[in-house]
Amino acid sequence: MSNIIYLLFLKNNNTFLYFIKTIREVENYSDATGKVELVSGYNHAWSRSDGSSFIMSDNPNFDPSSVFQDQRWKEMKKVE
C-alpha cells in the first residue's frame, strides 16, 4: 500500500514541479557544464561553455559564433 502512495506522490510532485517552472517561466537546458534553468519562450539556446554566458533566440538560422567570431558558442538541448 505504501508503494502506491509513494508513486502517487511522485506523479503529483512532477506535476507540481512542472507547474512551478511554468509560473517562474523557466525551462531546463543542458550543455557541457551541466543543466541550467533559462527563461522560457525561446526555441533555441546557446552556451559559451563557461557556465554563465547564454544566448536565447527563436531564429533557427542564428548562430552566435558567426556574430561573435572571437567566441565559440554551442547550441544547448532542452531537457526535463
Q: Give the pLDDT of residue 11.
A: 56
| Residue 11 belongs to domain spanning | 2-79
Count the domains in the chain: 1
pLDDT band at 5 (very low <50, low <70, confident <90, very high): very low
pLDDT, tens digit (0-9, with 9 covering 90-100), for 22-37: 677 888 999 888 899 8
Report the Cα 9 to chain-centroid distance in Å.
24
User: Given a cut of 60, is residue 10 above it in pLDDT?
Assistant: no
| Residues linked to residue 59 through DSSP beta bridges, in sequence order | none
Distance CA 5, CA 29 (A): 31
What pLDDT is stored for residue 33 in this prediction?
Answer: 84
> What are the pLDDT digits (tens) for 12-67?
566 767 766 767 788 899 988 889 989 888 999 999 978 789 999 999 999 999 99
